[in-house]
Chains A and B, each alone.
Chain A
Amino acid sequence: MENLIGVLVGAPLLGALILLVGGRALDRLGHWLGIVFATTSFAVGCVLFADMVGKDAEERALHDHLFSWVPVEGFQADVAFQLDQLSMTFVLLITGVGTLIHFYSVGYMEHDERRRRFFGYLNLFLAAMLVLVLADNYLLLYVGWEGVGLASYLLIGFWQHKPSAATAAKKAFLVNRVGDVGLSIAIMLMFTTFGTFAFSEVLPDAGSASEGQLTAIGLMLLLAACGKSAQVPLQSWLGDAMEGPTPVSALIHAATMVTAGVYLITRSGEIFNGAPAAQTAVVTVGAVTLVFGAIVGCAKDDIKKALAGSTMSQIGYMIMAAGLGPIGYVFAIMHLVTHGFFKAGLFLGAGSVMHGMNDEVDMRKYGGLRKYMPITFVTFGLGYLAIIGFPGLSGFFSKDKIIEAAFAKGGTEGWILGSVALLGAAITAFYMTRVMLLTFFGEKRWAGAPDPQTTPDVEPADGHPAVGAAPHPHESPLSMTVPMILLAFGSVFAGLLFTVNDTFLNWLEPVTHHEHGDSPISAGVVTGCTVTAMVVGVTIAWLMYGRSPVPAVAPRGSLLTRAARRDLLQDDFNHVAFVQTGSYLTRGLVYLDHKVVDGMANGTAAFIGGVSSRMRRLQNGYARSYAVSMFGGTAVLVAATLLMRAVA
């Protein structure tokens, strides 16, 4: 069984290699090859899962040592995989959702001549993400971490002919890099503290380090998590990352890559348990991002950016739950999995809407689409109900548990976190209802088609409508709708499945060591509050966007709305705080370099040059003047000798 872990990672890696090296010869069947490799990985994951379920809880972890990477005395870096319940959960999510999105991409990228390359990148992403969650030490995790960053860069910038996409890719890469620095420092600190970076040695041994050391490591890990999971203050890349093709947004920026930070914090639980200050930082980051993302999501008219704000906010929930310690880890991962289903479904739904609407992303130019795209409407609607926490659907169970755990943190902190989480739930309901109403309900607002009967329903000859032509909404092909339907099933039933008999809790318990927190208010009251918050959010959204007509051009809006449209000034802040400061600094350094460093070198040269051009005049070529200096010199020497003798 251990050897299968290598296949799990190797299949998509081989796929990426073949697709990217194979060249144009593979253009025609490249996407099917990509799907085969992704599906292989998923199938192997299922086999391993079945095997794992059959064993006792304590014996489930598998370990596969491939080779020694850097075998040096005192520094042992191995390429070794570890498959325990936590990794297994991620493996199934990554390969499962990943495979569905591979299928979806076949239809979505149909008209793109670089489709083969796209599938190569998708496979590369799967491989990197699997390395990240399967690594048995932090150094190999770092390899996967960087691989994920690379794949996301390539995929965001996939339409590199668009300057905005190229810029977004660079931005994502740079912001991620800031977080990566945090992870590398954390690994170095770990090495100096524990002398190793293997999970099996660092984590059980965490108690032996001082609290200060653990806090330092924890804060650096948090910085890393902020970068990859788009948390405040490194959140600015996620919105722009929507420049990538929609399947990429669904796979990377909703279901898998952004969850890497949550994985990192949960995996390093023992370190955070010993560092309360770092835990406080984690919950603060989570709570701030939760509200931040939600507010941004409320103001965006671009459907994908609204969903991106929502992703940020939901990951905020997970990070907050992970920061709560042993009472929250399980629920962080549970929300992560349910979120993986419904957010991937929502993004694929958004992609389907865009596919039918000539790649229009402005929700104010949608409206009334439910008649034209029934399957998209139903699957998107189920994802919507799941994310707002409609009772019975998956988001309800996982989010409710997090809010309960937040209250159970105890003290003032618990009340603050719980209230913030409830507020977040209300805002989530508001913005998701807004997306739903703007897209599928109300009057039709797209160009020149209020009455579908008079619009000529003719496909252009090449099957791909010209950009700028009046859209004629249609349902997407089967390859796109089937993954959406499957994900909708996940959005509906995952939560119930996980919660009945505490299945998910018992499954993860051996890895994350759950503690039941005592909430100051009963679970029933929390659930009541959550549902109330949801109803309030939905009602307000309905009053604003359902009952009254929506203007096709966005109104000016309040100060907060305008700030939220600009992502709550995150880019402006970064521009003032880092870009401008940095450019002033570099300009100052350039000035210093020119004036002081170059000045010294040039000054010395000029001095020597000046002196020697004056000295040159002594070399006048007249033998008699040389004789004078010779006599003069001799006279001086003789005089000096005599003087010295007289003094001595």
Chain B
Amino acid sequence: MNPVNYLYLSALLFTIGAAGVLVRRNAIIVFMCVELMLNACNLAFVTFSRIHGNLDGQIIAFFTMVVAAAEVVVGLAIILMIFRVRHSASVDDANLMKL
């Protein structure tokens, strides 16, 4: 199978993720979409690694996973705290930091 197809899939996933981040209000969904974008990147890294025949991309994919795991921990904690305080998980409700 032509590896370029994986790149198309990666781009598709990234676009879906980005669109989700921009249009959805629920913080959990937005968060999941961010994860989707991260994994789309991982897929692109791995694909390039395959195309070019070296392991650099795969190593970077591992790093991304670690960073994503840490991010999930911190991010979910923040979302949980916001939900407790404001009884809402909508990202538009957390708009106090404007002029």
Q: Which residues of A contact B (CB under 8 A)?
A: 616, 619-624, 627-628, 631
Among B58-99, those with CB < 8 Å from A are 91-92, 94-99
Closest to B23 in A: A624
A624 to chain B, nearest CB (A): 6
CA distance A627 to B95 in the complex (A): 14
In the complex the two chains form, is B99's CB within 8 Å of A622's CB?
no
In the complex the two chains form, is A622's CB within 8 Å of B22's CB?
no
- Cβ-based interface call for B18 (8 A): yes
A620 to chain B, nearest CB (A): 6
The interface residues of chain A lying within 8 Å CB-to-CB of B92 are 622-624
Chain B, interface SS category: loop
In the complex the two chains form, is B95's CB within 8 Å of A622's CB?
yes
In the complex the two chains form, is B95's CB within 8 Å of A621's CB?
yes
- Cβ-based interface call for B38 (8 A): no
> Shortest 3 CB-CB distances between A and B: which pairs?
A621-B98, A621-B95, A623-B91
Chain A, interface SS category: helix
27 cross-chain CB contacts under 8 A:
A616-B99, A619-B98, A619-B99, A620-B95, A620-B98, A621-B95, A621-B96, A621-B97, A621-B98, A622-B91, A622-B92, A622-B95, A623-B91, A623-B92, A623-B94, A623-B95, A624-B21, A624-B22, A624-B23, A624-B25, A624-B91, A624-B92, A627-B21, A627-B22, A628-B22, A631-B18, A631-B22
The interface residues of chain A lying within 8 Å CB-to-CB of B96 are 621
CA distance A622 to B94 in the complex (A): 8
Closest to A625 in B: B22
The interface residues of chain A lying within 8 Å CB-to-CB of B97 are 621
A42 to chain B, nearest CB (A): 84
The interface residues of chain A lying within 8 Å CB-to-CB of B91 are 622-624
CA distance A627 to B96 in the complex (A): 17
Closest to B21 in A: A627
The interface residues of chain A lying within 8 Å CB-to-CB of B21 are 624, 627
The interface residues of chain B lying within 8 Å CB-to-CB of A619 are 98-99
CA distance A631 to B14 in the complex (A): 12
The interface residues of chain A lying within 8 Å CB-to-CB of B23 are 624
The interface residues of chain B lying within 8 Å CB-to-CB of A628 are 22
A551 to chain B, nearest CB (A): 86
The interface residues of chain B lying within 8 Å CB-to-CB of A627 are 21-22
The interface residues of chain B lying within 8 Å CB-to-CB of A621 are 95-98
A624-B21, A624-B91 are known; give 6 further A-B pairs, CB within 8 A. Answer: A619-B98, A619-B99, A621-B97, A622-B92, A623-B92, A627-B22
Closest to B25 in A: A624
CA distance A627 to B27 in the complex (A): 13
CA distance A623 to B18 in the complex (A): 13
Q: Which of A619, A621, A631 has the most CB of B within 10 A?
A: A621
B47 to chain A, nearest CB (A): 18
CA distance A622 to B22 in the complex (A): 11
Closest to A616 in B: B99
CA distance A616 to B99 in the complex (A): 7
B13 to chain A, nearest CB (A): 15
Closest to A623 in B: B91
